[in-house]
Structure 1
């Protein structure tokens, strides 16, 4: 197991290079025999996106919650090499982090890019249980995809975006590993958030976003397979926002159909759902699924 050094509520996990930032929230009243939760963020951000709402909400429900910053993101090392990283590197970050939590069943929750990383990890052996049957300690008890890159990649979504939100499409083409300085704040706000997002929330968000690996952006189009076969997957939960201009409702429905589950579509919820004014409309059905998952396991 990798060595960990605690620094307040942050844990820096030593897995050679780079070191990964992991935020941890422990419940005041732990739910007996509950799985640990591991949250994986989307492009250009870090584990901090979960810290304000989702982590305390899930901890209050009795779950031990961990949030990973992929290499080059958040407080993890590797920002200077961001354009060098591939999807396989991010998947290795998830693999190493999950290995450090292997003494208990684990549920991984991926948003956007994090959903692609999660699917790639399952495809390459992350689901040690191998099927949807019983899970014992150390196995992947479930996986949740929130506004996730669909199993076939983003090529169709990108084409749809070019027609319906060409300004957002042009902004994303400018992304690279150097910085996010070229992004237009007004365009990003209009396309990633709901209209009633508080100005202060958006200002804090834009102050912390950064660039993203161009290699990963190409891989996410789907030219490089990353999704597991449906029968490889653990119990799955698929949720998206009804107002998401990046991952549309059709992609959410298609992802759910691929994994053989019903989708959860939240009205008036945009892509950056964990920071939205109605973030709880996404957190509540996720939490309900986690509780049902625990009942089935019990």
Structure 2
């Protein structure tokens, strides 16, 4: 059984559930910190799952072998159990998982937050290799990436802005966990098919993102024929940064304008 944190109830104002999907090294907890209660209080049913091998979700096999196809199966299985198709919200790596879900499932809407771009992880991987060649070399040998993102300085570099209080960086860095080595390869090889996605999309970016560049966020938005929206003084983990409420409010307003 996958871990699913489920809060709130659908209301007349917001009859469609929201399904939040986390990125690499994270789990459902990152949405439960602020977003689930925020949207539940607004009259939504808000759910977040932990992909297999993350949080309290069993992997079913070695975590290092879990693939994007496995993660897509997780999202699909949770979404298909809901009474109506949910709005799906994906962060970072999950941006691609959500896009792949939307290629084959009609949904009311999709939201991409600091999403991996259409070109995949290649750009991010090259930037990581240039900045930390020894990290990348060890990761390639061991298949273990957690040590290179989970210390407070490295977590801040990748996930948080310079404005984030150190106590938050320390707390959240301690909750990160190992990611699948196979997912790293899939992130380089997988290409979403925006031409197959027909539902409305919202693309959000963080101005001080250490993992995804503004250019990459713009490329994602351009693939859907829309303009991205950026939040200043914000790092990659937009749901955990001190300015998280502005992001949540924007999603709420955008969904409300569509009767969702």
Q: TM-score, normalised by structure 2?
A: 0.90
User: Following the alignment from structure 1 to structure 2, what is the Cα–Cα distance between the partners of residues 155 and 181?
Assistant: 20
The alpha-carbon deviation at position 235 of structure 1 amounts to 0.8
The alpha-carbon deviation at position 144 of structure 1 amounts to 0.5
- Among 224, 239, 251, which residue is 2:190 paired with? 224
How well do the aligned residues superpose, as a CA RMSD in angstroms? 2.4
Cα pair distance change 1:105/1:90, threshold 3 Å: closer
User: Structure 1 residues 69-78 or 56-65, which shifts more?
Assistant: 56-65
- Among 20, 24, 30, which residue is 2:6 paired with? 24
The alpha-carbon deviation at position 46 of structure 1 amounts to 0.4
Q: Deviations over 1:202-239 (max 9, x none)?
A: 22212221111111101111x233x1232433110100
- Among 217, 239, 260, which residue is 1:252 paired with? 217
Cα pair distance change 1:168/1:207, threshold 3 Å: farther
User: Following the alignment from structure 2 to structure 1, what is the Cα–Cα distance between the partners of residues 55 and 8?
Assistant: 20
Q: Is the 8 A contact 1:177 1:211 kept in 2?
A: no
- Among 182, 189, 197, which residue is 1:215 paired with? 182
Q: Deviations over 1:223-258 (max 9, x none)?
A: 233x12324331101001011021111111111110
| 2:240 counterpart residue number | 275
User: Following the alignment from structure 1 to structure 2, what is the Cα–Cα distance between the partners of residues 204 and 292?
Assistant: 36
- Among 27, 41, 45, which residue is 1:46 paired with? 27
Cα pair distance change 1:31/1:197, threshold 3 Å: farther
User: Structure 1 residues 265-274 or 176-185, which shifts more?
Assistant: 176-185
User: Following the alignment from structure 2 to structure 1, what is the Cα–Cα distance between the partners of residues 214 and 86?
Assistant: 28
Mind listing any 5+ residue stretches in structure 2 that lack a counterpart?
Answer: none
| 1:126 counterpart residue number | 105
Q: Is the 8 A contact 1:86 1:215 kept in 2?
A: yes
Q: Is the 8 A contact 2:11 2:43 kept in 1?
A: yes
- Of Structure 1 and Structure 2, the greater strand share is in 1
Mind listing any 5+ residue stretches in structure 1 that lack a counterpart?
Answer: 1-18, 128-139
Give runs of aligned pairs for residues 21-170 of structure 1, distance below 5 A: 21-27=3-9, 30-32=11-13, 34-78=15-59, 81-101=62-82, 103-123=83-103, 125-127=104-106, 140-162=107-129, 166-167=131-132, 170=135
The alpha-carbon deviation at position 105 of structure 1 amounts to 3.6
| 2:231 counterpart residue number | 266
**SS of the residue aligned with 1:289?**
helix
Q: Deviations over 1:28-49 (max 9, x none)?
A: x834352100000010110000
| 2:206 counterpart residue number | 241
* Count of aligned residue pairs for this structure pair: 258
The alpha-carbon deviation at position 181 of structure 1 amounts to 3.9
